[in-house]
A = this chain, B = another copy of it.
Amino acid sequence: MARTVFEKADAVALVAEVFRELGYEGATLSRITERTGLGKGSLYHFFPGGKEAMAAEVLAHVDGWFAANVFRPLEQDEPRLAIAWMWNTIDEYFRSGRSICLVGTFSLDATRDRFAGAIRGYFTRWIAALQQALIRAGTEAEAAGRQAEAVVIQLQGALVLSRALHDETVFARTLRRLAAELPR
């Protein structure tokens, strides 16, 4: 059988998907091995810190992706454009609700305490970035804060409900509703 050689970046992306689907506790090493095709040897070569290091790197990877594709545009680009861009990016990223938010999953059980800093950082930056964009688009500061928080809440909630009902239309519908409520 042909050996497949991975780079670390590939490994992180593959492992991320397993954590996303199964949660931290549900993602056992054997399931990670089985779903990624990476043997234990490879996994511990890439992540000498073991399972906790895998999850930490995966969180950092997700945060980096959002920083580049969502947070920075909101912070720096033309605000209405960045907000419109966010709806599309988010819809693609969560595959219209079929995939879910790894950070959200980690928030709900005791995994939160293991990665408290990374989890808090992700959400606070998202809310702050969106608030700034709204302010620059002409919204009053306090209202912008409330609105930004409400958007993140509804995205997370829509992911929960989408998955609970096996119904992708929930997420798409929520995105459309939010887009209509915010400055365009």
Contact = CB atoms under 8 A, between A and B. Distances in A.
Contacts of A166: 116, 120
A103 B164 CA distance: 8
Interface string A141-163: 00000100110111111111101
Contacts of A139: none
A155 B160 CA distance: 10
Nearest to A119: B164
A165 B155 CA distance: 16
A63 to B, nearest CB: 13
A112 B25 contact: no
Copies in the complex: 2
B164 A157 contact: no
- Residue from A107, A109, A110, A119 whose CB has the most chain B CB atoms within 10 Å: A109
A153 B161 contact: yes
Interface in A104-133: 104-105, 107-112, 116, 119-120, 122-124
B120 A165 contact: yes
A156 to B, nearest CB: 4
A77 to B, nearest CB: 25
Which of A22, A105, A160 has the most B CB atoms < 10 Å from its CB?
A160
Nearest to A106: B164
A23 interface: yes
Contacts of A123: 161, 164-165
Contacts of A105: 108-109
Given A26-B110, A109-B26, A177-B146, A124 B165 contact: yes
A182 interface: no
A21 interface: yes
A59 interface: no
